[in-house]
Amino acid sequence: MVRCAFCGTEFDPQEAKLSCSSCPLVKMCTHHRCPNCGYENVANASIFSLLKKRKEGIHVKQK
């Protein structure tokens, strides 16, 4: 499940892809469009995952 950063609605990322089916970039797009408000949420980048894990207190191995 993905939570919209704008309105807070939780939705399935596969469900979000249905609203983008007419877009020519849908196969290589990493955004998830919220079915409630239409905001395009960016998929988690590695730096955001790292920061989230640190915030949650999970030990993260540095390279």
The pLDDT value recorded for residue 63 is 54
The pLDDT value recorded for residue 30 is 80
The domain spans of the chain are 2-49
Residues in the chain, pLDDT under 50: none
Measured distance CA(57)–CA(63) in Å, rounded: 18
The pLDDT value recorded for residue 50 is 65
0.75 surpassed by pTM: no
Measured distance CA(53)–CA(32) in Å, rounded: 21
